[in-house]
Amino acid sequence: MDKIIKALLSADIGQVMTNEPMKLHTTWKIGGPADLFILPKTKEDLQTTLRLLKDHHIPWMILGRGSNLLVRDGGIRGAVIQLGEAFGQLEISGEEVRVGAAYPMIRLVVQVGRMGLEGLEFAGGIPGSVGGAVYMNAGAHGSDISQVLKEATILWENGSIESVPNEKMRFRYRTSILQETRGIVLEATFRLRPGERAELAKRMAVFKDRRMKTQPLQEPCAGSVFRNPPGDHAARLIEACGLKGRQIGDAKISEKHANFIVNKGHATAKDVLELIQLAQKEVYDRFSISLETEVLVMGDE
């Protein structure tokens, strides 16, 4: 590990931290240490980082704003890369919006709404970054990223950069080509529609009010834990099994929304995983439905 640290520092690619607690970088506030935590300054520094990690045989993962992610208590062997301010630009030209991968989705929704652009209101409650939203084809309220994305600029693991149009992103429910081929979203271009600002603001307010009433957003959580099975909702199934409020350690199935697990203070990944397994078992035993996790689980036990 000393060799890769020396190489990264010599290349002056940005910040390089060691044994960085991942609980500081996830919305669940859970997670053991990452061997390396890297914040490249520029796109070129990011390319250099990937090349050096490859040369030194160091595995890596990309981190957005830490939502939709559970890092195990043993932490992450290898490197975690997070995109910083240089990847947070926003350009609006007519009905097209070009935005950096590090830009927060919630802020983007507010900004385009103020400009009278329609199409992203569904994402007003998605706590992640633009890059993370593209990666997992994030969605809500009957829409998702695939409905509005024109193209994404992706840095592939081999160092090449490509503008990938929507039709080649292989979007499906909560998935994209990035689950199949390793790469990092650098920016996204959305094609929106003209809308009435007052109506957009009203619609976003309704969505926000609904979220605040039905989701435990004031507590550390990671968003929906399970994918909705075809024709049903994971929350309904979990609640029907009487699991709302069930707690293991400091991890608890929310009493507001059964598809959320909240951290009541000092929850561990082990606590969360035991609750996930409990919900999967109870739902399968009662309904013969296998719940699949929507959150990504990373790291060592």
Catalytic residue among 65, 72, 174, 246: 174
Which residue, 136, 146, 15, 119, is CA-closest to 64? 136
**What phi and psi values does residue 163 have, to the nearest 5 degrees?**
-90, 115
User: What is the side-by-side strand order in the sheet with 247-248?
Assistant: 247-248, 251-253, 261-263
Which residue, 66, 72, 114, 107, is CA-closest to 90? 107
* CA end-to-end span of the chain: 21
d(CA 13, CA 240): 51
d(CA 294, CA 287): 19
Q: Give the C-alpha distances (Å, rounded to integers) separating 104 from 16, 88, 288, 298.
A: 23, 8, 38, 22
Which residue, 108, 126, 131, is CA-closest to 187? 131
**What phi and psi values does residue 183 have, to the nearest 5 degrees?**
-170, 170
d(CA 68, CA 297): 9
**What phi and psi values does residue 200 have, to the nearest 5 degrees?**
-65, -45
To the query of whether residue 210 is one of the catalytic residues in this protein, the response is no
To the query of whether residue 174 is one of the catalytic residues in this protein, the response is yes
- Contact status, residue 43 vs residue 3, Cβ threshold 8 Å: no
Sign of CA pseudo-dihedral 37, 42, 43, 45:
negative
Catalytic residue among 146, 176, 224, 254: 224
Catalytic residue among 20, 121, 282, 294: 294
Q: What pairing do the DSSP bridges indicate for beta strands 251-253 and 247-248? A: antiparallel
198: CB partners within 8 A, 6+ apart = none
Which residues are catalytically annotated? 174, 224, 294
